């Protein structure tokens, strides 16, 4: 019997090829979209979940008051924690980034180096390919390298026992390879090429006993018998003992306690939450809010829901043409469950074909997905047993929902009415209208969100930042050369180039350059019995000139003043207000004990040195040679930019032949700060496009069904003198009413969601009624175009033929 049903189903599908093709295309696109978005969401949801001890792994962070959080810790914290809470801590490690210049023989490589404690290998599940995890870092001169690094440096040669050199503080220090570790997965917050002992970090000796210098992360593996809340409670006496100065400073500055009554506390961030914490988490990857993968899944659900609605409407419409077949089967003794099974079987075959085609689309488009959404989705995720079970369950549910209702509807048709040719949809009209409203509510919702997201992205990209971002090129120095020396040589080589207007250097970049790095340095110090915290930006001569930053008071750094490279600073307006001085020029800042005070020589107009998600923070410029130059900034003339870039590249190759030229304009760098917003906008655009296409397919199906029902009415109206236009309006207005209801439902939902999203930004657009009106108008126009096509066709039909067919 099953074989017979399958043959009948295939024959019917072949007979009604147009119906089958429309359904297959709609469901294939829906399945492909759903799978792609699921892979993107899964790549985020599975971050850091591969560690065997994952439930006991945490990153330590400090919370000061109700909201202020920091993940950087002082060097003595981890040893003190182990000493004070030995029973509760199974393992603990410090992790700090130490640059990446590596030399082997006469070759140099740019690699990611992390300095860690030996417990690192016991805590995290990065399998050791060569070497013993408990002994590979017993010596301060040992180093562990990843498989990828081993291949790139040593090829097929066994690297264990070989000597590498790392560039640390402008000197080369030898290390012996003691082990090879597996490469970190793409969904790991901790990434590395080489791992060395934390004590080998160049700044360790001068900071090992300093509690006021924070520069690294701390991870702990808590004893499984101890809960997270219990461990945090046991940290309170530790904080009182070792962070007493921080508590006193907060009391003095009027700090507010948190919900537990603590001015400052140490807390735990679960390893599995690291990727989703945008304040203190993220590791070496780009953190995202947990709502982002959930949004991907919701959008995927919307698309599948619309496709299912289309399937139901198309199947219901087609059932009208198969009513006589159903009637004959009933007369010949077919049972209701047999009819249901037959029609559901046809739906199953269609969905199965669609799933296969959708899978092929996924294979072809997964790389494009990663490019658009900047994820690292992989087809290998589909081999996960959990994913397989979830996909099969979802497929069966979708097939049951999409094919079940039409099958039940057909099976319940009255036999007598069928054979008389008097089939009526009955109560299904309300179901049909409800489904249509849902479709266009979703489509309108997505269009409104798309419009608002793009408006915000455009606002962020076009808002004046207070400095020249269009004619300034940022060049990462890299780790193979001394930044200050490279700057001086580069400046000399470009001195005679007329299209190069000025050259300067800085410790940190604006936005995110081609090197992908982003650095923030904040320094705190006491001034007039209260703590001042300021962003610290070491720069070189001509910084204000190169960036066109406006000087409000005082003077710029000058080669005529020897003290400018040691004790002079320039502050922004916000920093001047923070100091509370009427005339801040000449103010002395006692930043470091035992060091001479810094003198404010100038005040500049506020400019946005960070993302527009934040308000302008206090910022201090200085020329101390204790800080390295990480970026060279070049202001160029606006004419013949390609030729100027070629000149810069040639000069850079002469200055740093072992460093790649990665120059980029500052406006490009600042744009990269808003990649997540752009991804969200692209997601909404794609989803809205798919939703509109699928909704129009469903609307077209309903139009075909309704026109077939009203063919006699249309013929009578034409005989009585109705014009084509009046008939088109008559047939279209009922559909447009349903679309309007969908718009009314979608608009407040879109307003609420996007208003919540915009709260994340210090600078944002204002939501306006016209944004929702535009989305609604687009939905109406698209719906009218879809319906009017079939309406015009019905209105132009010869009334004699219409009445005769009835």
Point out the residues of the chain with pLDDT beneath 50: 426-427, 806
Q: Helix 2-15 vs helix 336-373: angle between axes, to the nearest 10 degrees? A: 60
Decide which of 221, 247, 276 is a domain's last residue: 276
Are the CB atoms for 578 and 547 separated by under 8 Å? Answer: no
- As a whole number of angstroms, the distance between CA 369 and CA 692 comes to 20
The contacts of residue 504 (CB under 8 Å, 6+ apart) are: 487, 539, 540, 541, 542, 543, 545, 546, 547, 632, 633
- Residue 352 inside a domain? The answer is no
- As a whole number of angstroms, the distance between CA 123 and CA 194 comes to 17
pLDDT in tens, 399-409: 877 776 666 66
Q: How many domains are there within the chain?
A: 2
Are the CB atoms for 662 and 475 separated by under 8 Å? Answer: yes
Are the CB atoms for 769 and 777 separated by under 8 Å? Answer: no
- Residue 292 inside a domain? The answer is no
- As a whole number of angstroms, the distance between CA 756 and CA 19 comes to 42
DSSP E strand stretches across 223-260: none
- pLDDT of res. 443: 86
Tokens of 308: 């299912």
- pLDDT of res. 398: 79
- pLDDT of res. 176: 93
- As a whole number of angstroms, the distance between CA 136 and CA 500 comes to 51
- Residue 685 inside a domain? The answer is no
Tokens of 357: 């085609």
The contacts of residue 57 (CB under 8 Å, 6+ apart) are: 51, 123, 124, 219, 220, 221, 270, 271
- As a whole number of angstroms, the distance between CA 350 and CA 382 comes to 22
Domain that holds residue 114: 54-276
Decide which of 215, 245, 276 is a domain's last residue: 276
Q: How would you classify the pairing of strands 531-538 and 522-526?
A: antiparallel
- As a whole number of angstroms, the distance between CA 581 and CA 166 comes to 46
- pLDDT of res. 253: 59
Tokens of 721: 């003198």
Q: Residue 468 — φ and ψ, nearest 5°?
A: -80, 110
Q: How far are the Cα atoms of 34, 51, 100, 165 from residue 170, in angstroms, in the given order? A: 51, 36, 12, 12
Other residues' Cβ atoms within 10 Å of the Cβ of residue 463: 12
Of 131, 130, 135, the residue nearest 119 (C-alpha): 135
The dihedral through the CA atoms of 238, 240, 244, 249 has a sign that is: positive
Furthest CA-CA distance within the chain: 107
- Residue 418 inside a domain? The answer is no
Decide which of 642, 658, 674 is a domain's last residue: 658
- As a whole number of angstroms, the distance between CA 28 and CA 26 comes to 6
Of 768, 778, 771, 676, the residue nearest 448 (C-alpha): 771
Please report which helix (H) or strand (E) contains residue 25, including its range: helix 17-45
- Residue 142 inside a domain? The answer is yes
- As a whole number of angstroms, the distance between CA 683 and CA 695 comes to 18
- Residue 536 inside a domain? The answer is yes
DSSP E strand stretches across 463-550: 472-476, 500-506, 522-526, 531-538
Tokens of 317: 């419409």
- Residue 530 inside a domain? The answer is yes
Chain-centre distance of CA 18, in angstroms? 40
- Residue 754 inside a domain? The answer is no
DSSP state of 597: P
Of 788, 767, 761, 683, the residue nearest 373 (C-alpha): 683
- As a whole number of angstroms, the distance between CA 305 and CA 437 comes to 12
The dihedral through the CA atoms of 487, 512, 520, 184 has a sign that is: negative
Q: How would you classify the pairing of strands 619-622 and 531-538?
A: parallel
């Amino acid at each position: 019997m099953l074989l017979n049903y399958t043959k009948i189903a295939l024959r019917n599908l072949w007979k009604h090829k147009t119906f089958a093709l429309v359904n297959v295309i709609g469901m294939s696109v829906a399945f492909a979209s759903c799978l792609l978005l699921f892979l993107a969401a899964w790549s985020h949801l599975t971050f850091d979940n591969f560690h065997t001890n994952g439930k006991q792994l945490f990153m330590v962070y400090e919370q000061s008051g109700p909201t202020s959080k920091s993940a950087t810790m002082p060097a003595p914290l981890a040893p003190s924690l182990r000493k004070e809470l030995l029973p509760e801590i199974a393992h603990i490690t410090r992790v700090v980034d130490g640059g990446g210049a590596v030399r082997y023989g006469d070759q140099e490589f740019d690699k990611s180096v992390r300095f860690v404690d030996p417990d690192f290998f016991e805590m995290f599940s990065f399998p050791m390919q060569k070497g013993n995890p408990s002994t590979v870092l017993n010596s301060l001169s040992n180093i562990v390298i990843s498989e990828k690094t081993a291949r790139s440096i040593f090829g097929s040669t066994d690297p264990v026992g070989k000597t590498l050199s790392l560039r640390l503080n402008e000197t080369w220090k030898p290390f012996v390879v003691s082990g090879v570790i597996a490469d970190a997965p793409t969904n790991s917050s901790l990434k590395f090429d080489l791992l060395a002992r934390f004590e080998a970090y160049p700044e360790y000796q001068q900071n090992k006993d300093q509690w006021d210098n924070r520069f690294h992360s701390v991870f702990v593996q808590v004893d499984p018998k101890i809960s997270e809340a219990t461990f945090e409670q046991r940290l309170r006496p530790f904080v009182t003992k070792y962070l007493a100065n921080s508590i006193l400073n907060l009391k003095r500055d009027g700090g507010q306690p948190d919900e537990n009554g603590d001015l400052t506390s140490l807390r735990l961030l679960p390893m599995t939450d690291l990727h989703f914490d945008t304040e203190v988490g993220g590791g070496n990857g780009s953190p995202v809010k947990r709502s982002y993968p959930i949004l991907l899944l919701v959008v995927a659900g919307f698309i599948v829901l619309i496709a299912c609605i289309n399937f139901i409407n198309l199947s219901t419409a087609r059932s009208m043409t198969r009513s006589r077949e159903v009637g004959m089967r009933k007369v010949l003794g077919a049972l209701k469950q047999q009819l249901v099974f037959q029609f559901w079987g046809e739906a199953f075959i269609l969905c199965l074909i669609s799933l296969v085609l959708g899978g092929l689309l996924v294979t072809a488009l997964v790389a494009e997905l990663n490019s658009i959404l900047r994820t690292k989705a992989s087809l290998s995720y589909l081999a996960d047993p959990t994913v397989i079970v979830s996909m099969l369950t979802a497929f069966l549910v979708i097939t049951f929902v999409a094919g079940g209702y039409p099958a039940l509807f057909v099976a319940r048709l009255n036999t007598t009415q069928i054979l008389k040719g008097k089939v009526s949809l009955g109560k299904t009209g309300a179901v049909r209208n409800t489904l249509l409203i849902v479709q266009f509510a979703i489509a309108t919702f997505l269009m409104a969100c798309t419009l608002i997201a793009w408006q915000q992205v455009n606002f962020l990209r076009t808002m004046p930042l207070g400095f020249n971002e269009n004619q300034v090129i940022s060049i990462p120095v890299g780790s193979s050369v001394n930044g200050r020396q490279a700057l001086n040589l580069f400046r000399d080589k470009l001195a005679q180039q007329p299209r190069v207007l000025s050259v300067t250097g800085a410790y940190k970049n604006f936005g995110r350059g081609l090197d992908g790095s982003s650095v923030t340095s904040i320094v705190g110090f006491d001034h007039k019995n209260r703590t001042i915290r300021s962003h610290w930006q070491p720069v070189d001569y001509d910084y204000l000139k190169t960036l066109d930053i406006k000087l409000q008071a005082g003077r710029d750094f000058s080669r005529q003043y020897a003290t400018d490279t040691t004790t002079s600073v320039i502050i922004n307006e916000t920093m001047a207000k923070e100091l509370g001085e009427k005339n801040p020029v000449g103010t002395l800042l006692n930043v470091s004990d035992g060091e001479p005070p810094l003198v404010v020589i100038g005040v500049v107009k506020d400019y946005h040195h960070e993302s527009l998600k934040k308000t302008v923070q206090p910022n201090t410029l200085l020329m101390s040679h204790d800080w390295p130059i990480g970026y060279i900034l070049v202001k160029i003339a606006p004419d013949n930019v390609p030729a100027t870039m070629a000149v810069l590249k040639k000069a850079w190759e002469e200055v740093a032949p072992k460093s790649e030229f990665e120059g980029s304009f500052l406006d490009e760098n600042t744009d990269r700060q808003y990649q997540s917003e752009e991804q969200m906008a692209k997601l909404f655009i794609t989803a809205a496009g798919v939703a509109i296409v699928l909704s129009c397919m469903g609307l077209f199906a309903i139009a075909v069904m309704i026109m077939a029902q009203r063919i006699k009415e249309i013929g009578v109206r034409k005989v009585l003198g109705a014009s084509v236009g009046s008939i088109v309006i008559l047939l279209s207005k009922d559909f447009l009413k349903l679309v309007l209801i969908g718009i009314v439902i979608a608009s407040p939902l879109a307003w609420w969601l996007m208003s919540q999203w915009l709260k994340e930004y210090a600078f944002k657009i204002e939501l306006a009624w016209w944004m929702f009106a535009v989305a609604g108008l687009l939905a109406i126009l698209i719906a009218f175009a879809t319906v009017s096509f079939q309406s015009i066709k019905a209105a132009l039909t010869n009334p004699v033929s219409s009445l005769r067919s009835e």
